[in-house]
Structure formats: C-alpha cells, structure tokens
Amino acid sequence: MNIRALLILAGAAAVLWSVRRWRQAVQLVMFLLICEGAIRKWIFPGAQDLIYFAKDVFLLGAYIGFFRERSRLRSRLPAIPGLAALLVIASLYGLFEVVNPLLPNVLVGILGFKAYFFYVPLLWVVPATFSSGEELARFLRRYALTAIPVGLLAMTQFVSSPTSVLNTYARPGDGEMFYATTFGSSSFVRVTATFSFITGYTSYLVAAMILILGILAATRWRFRGNLLLFAALAMTLLGISMTGSRGPLILLVAILPLYWWLIVAREAGGGAVFGRVIIALTVVLGLVSYADQGAIDAFYGRAINVSDVPDRLAAPFQQPFDLLIHGGILGFGIGATHQTAAAVTKGIPPYSWTHGIVVEGETGRIMLELGGIGFLLIYLIRFYLPLLALSQLRTLRVRYFRAIATSCALFLLAQIPGSVVFDFVTGVYYWFFAGLLMLVIQLDREAVRAATAARAAAPAPEPSAQPVPAWHARSG
C-alpha cells in the first residue's frame, strides 16, 4: 500500500476521531494550520494535495460532532440573528453561483464555495469549544508562543542558501518543489518558515502579532511572567522583516493608534501602561535589530526601492469599481478566479472562462466571481463583524475578555480588504477570531452573572465595578 492510500485511510480515521473529540479537533486544526506547510514540503512531498486538505478533514469531523451536540450546547451558542441571516443569504447565493453557466465545470464551483464558506461554522463552533476563561487563556497563550519556534526556523532559513532544502515552496496539486525568492539585490531569501508560501506566513504573523498584543494588554504589559510573550512579539516583528512583505508592517503602523485608544488610553491606569508599552517596544525593537541586522537591511532595501506602495494600497478599494463592468450583476461564477480552478480544468486554457481577465486583489476577484450582488453580500458581512466587535467593547466588564475582544476587532477590521477567501490561512484565522469574539462576549456575561450572584449571597459584599475571574486575578 502506497503513501497516498495510507494517508486517505488516516483521513477517514481522522474524521471519526474528530466527531467524537470535536473540541480537541478544533484546537488541533489551529496548530495544524501552522505545521501543514512543513508537512507538505518536507515529510510528504509526494502527497501535497492530500495534506493540503488535512485541516479540512479534521474540521469536517468537528462540525459533525458539534452538530450532534447542538441541542445540549444551545445555551452557549451566540445569538446573532442579523449576521446569521446575512450568512444564510450569502450561502444560498453562493450555491446558486456553483452552477453559473459561465464556469467551465461544476467542480470549480464546488471548490469556490468551499473557499468562501467552509470555515464560516467556526463562528458557532469556537464558542462551544472552550468551557471556561481559564481554558481559553491557556490555549491562547500557548498558541501565541508558537511564534518563537516558528521564528527560529525562519531565522535559519534566512541565513541558508536559496537552494537549501529549508527554502522550498510547496504546490497543492503535485510534489514538485520550487525555491524561495530572494530580496532581489540581496542573497538572503524571503522566508516562509513552516508555511508553504510567503503569504501563509505573513497571515500567521499578523494573527499572532494581534493576539500577542491583546494578551499583553490583558496583563497591563507587565514584564513579570511575560518574558516569553515579549520574545514571541519580537519574533513576529523579525519574521515580518524576513518575509520582505510590507503589508504587515503597514498594518501594524495603522492599528497601533487604535490599539492604544481602545485598550490603553481608556483603561484605568492607562498612563502607567502606556509607559510600559513604550519601554517594552523599545527593548523589543532593539533586540530585533541586534538579532539580525541583515534582515532589517534587506527589508529596508526592498521597501525603499519599490514605488508601487500607493497603488497597491488603493487597489483593494478601486478594483471592484473597475471590474464591475466585467463581472456584471452575477459574475463569472464562484471559484472562477481561484488558484485551484486551473488544476481541475485540464485541457481548457487557464481562465479562458473569465475572458482572460486575471487580477491579484481579493476585492476585484470577488467582484469578477460573484458580480455586484455577491460582492455586496460578502462585504456587508466583512463590515458587520468588526462593527459588532467595536460596539461590544464598552459592554465587557472583565479586562481579559475586553482585551481579547479588542484583538478580534482589530483583526476583523484589518481583513475588510484582506484575503479571507483566496488565502486559506487568513480564512481560518478570520472565522476563528470571529468565533473567539462571540466566545469572550459569552464568557464575560457568565462572569458578570457569577459575580452578581456571589455579591447577592455574601453577607457583606464589597462593591466592584469590574468582576475579575479568580484565574485571571492570579495571573495578572
């Protein structure tokens, strides 16, 4: 029996296991998301297409397990009727687009529908995955600390030869390898760490960076007990420079003022926390510069020699209007511009079904695929989620939950023009953060109810404006 057959059997077993252990399966998927590229590149290069779908296999089992227990979990599920209605309408429209006659075959539509909607159930599954704030805090901290080993691998790649086995990309459709790109005039490579491509690694870096900022805010940026988190933050910043991607750095600069306002300035003792933030960032940036000046120089050299930054920043907002005339009302069909479409249309010239129109940005591609109606539905959802997050921040009473909700708001806000559909790493993170937002809202309400009940039962209750769970009081 060959490796592919064994992997298919393992996939079937993974589904059965995930149905029974769906909570653990969801958490496993988040770590598998980090390791999937490494498995494809270095362990099973001849079965990259099967490994590519491994996370989806575990999630499919988790969805089935969650659905089986949904009645028992009803009290923990978020009530979001407006968003739920939008998602149902968008999903039905997506099913309609699967059979768009302009598509070369229905398989393209099915793969396209998966790209848009397969990770959406995380919005409900994640809130049921964690039973307590302590369990959630433990998971998020461990996940944030993965930035350290991932960053160490990236540093090793950066100083290795471009033709080293460490510096290979992976293709989802075959076992062929091709090597990482360099910074142009420099011999240093643009690293991918454990991910298949640079885009996957940068998506992870953005998610990890925003998550770490939220956890540090919950602890008021105290140094004691958080040294590993500061090291992880340094690794994300160093990773950004070694990828050569300017987007994450621009995003960091854009969100820092909003982060400061939402989670530092408006909190009690904000002045002291702001001072610790300045000291911490100065130390972290100094360590990053000291650790690998070559990465900083390579990134700086690439950044100053490229003049297309204004056009690239404007493209996500301009492309949909430019392409509306081509996409029309209904578009070319869901999945028409997806990168996997060419792999399932053998014998047909790639993207001839879109009349040869190929664009890079997600906003433009959604307009081409779904037309004006679908574009409006997708981006109503994209705006709804961060606005919901921002509206909930003032209502949350527990500092830890408020800090994590702020991270969710920042991530969801940053992904309005992001690549949620066409980069599966961002897609998983997007719906995980959306589910995480619903979870912390629920946990905060439970904490408030518990604190209220405790004060009512106590003979001489002490007034408290902000209930704090015992586990958070011990850690912070």
* Phi/psi-derived region of residue 371, left when phi > 0, alpha when psi is between -120 and 50, beta in every other case: left
Q: Give the CA angle between residues 161, 236, 117 to the nearest 5°.
A: 100
Would you state the torsion angle of the CA atoms of residues 447, 449, 455, 457, taken in this order, to the nearest 10 degrees? Answer: -120
Contact 434, 97 (CB under 8 A): no
And the tokens for 424?
């599966």
Residue 363 has a pLDDT of: 95
pLDDT for 64 equals 96
Question: Alpha-carbon Rg of the chain, whole angstroms?
Answer: 23
Contact assessment for residue 246 and residue 309, using Cβ atoms and an 8 Å cutoff = yes
Cα angle, residue 426 at apex, residues 425 and 427 outer, rounded to 5°: 90
Give me 23's structure tokens: 């909570």
H helices, E strands: number in the chain? 19, 2
The closest alpha carbon to 143, from 419, 432, 450, belongs to 432
- Residue closest to 437 by CA, chosen among 206, 210, 226: 210
Residue 284 vs residues 13, 148, 190, 289: alpha-carbon distances, Å: 44, 14, 22, 9
Task: Per residue of the chain (476 residues), give pLDDT as tens.
Answer: 578 788 889 889 999 999 999 999 999 999 999 999 999 888 888 778 788 889 999 999 999 999 998 878 766 667 787 899 999 999 999 999 999 999 999 999 999 999 999 999 999 999 999 989 999 999 999 999 999 999 999 999 988 888 888 888 865 444 455 556 766 556 778 889 999 889 999 999 999 999 999 999 998 888 888 999 999 999 998 898 888 887 888 888 888 889 888 887 777 666 677 778 788 778 777 777 666 656 666 665 665 655 566 777 788 889 999 999 999 999 999 999 998 888 888 889 888 999 888 888 999 999 999 999 999 999 999 999 999 999 998 899 999 999 999 999 999 999 999 999 999 999 999 999 999 999 999 999 988 888 888 888 876 555 544 554 555 544 44
Report domain extents, the chain: 1-72, 79-440
Q: Element (H or E) spanning 170, and its range?
A: strand 168-170
Tokens representing 247 are 């987007």
Q: In angstroms, rounded to a whole number, what is the distance separating the alpha carbons of residues 122 and 60?
A: 11
DSSP letters of 378-444? HHHHHHHHHHHHHHHHTT--SHHHHHHHHHHHHHHHHTSSS-TTT-HHHHHHHHHHHHHHHHHHHHH
Rounded to whole angstroms, the Cα distance separating 180 from 103 reads 33
Res 416: pLDDT: 95
Beta bridge pairs of residue 179: 168
d(CA 410, CA 222): 22
How far apart, in Å, are the Cα atoms of 101 and each of 97, 320, 336?
9, 22, 11
- Cα–Cα distance list, 88 to 65, 78, 81 (Å): 21, 16, 10
Q: Which of 254, 146, 268, 143 is nearest to 217 (CA)?
A: 268
The reported pLDDT for the residue numbered 175 is 46
State the DSSP H helix or E strand holding residue 178, giving kind and residue range, or none if neither.
strand 177-179
**pLDDT confidence of residue 344:** 87
What is the β-pairing status of strands 177-179 and 168-170?
A: antiparallel
Six-digit token pair at 272? 């002291």
Question: 233-244 burial string, b = 16+ CB within 10 Å, else e?
Answer: bbbbbbbbbbbb
Count CB atoms within 10 A of the CB of residue 363. 24
pLDDT for the residue numbered 365: 96
Q: What is the DSSP letter of 182?
A: B
Model pLDDT, residue 296: 64
Could you tell me if 380 and 86 are in contact, meaning their C-beta atoms sit under 8 angstroms apart?
A: yes
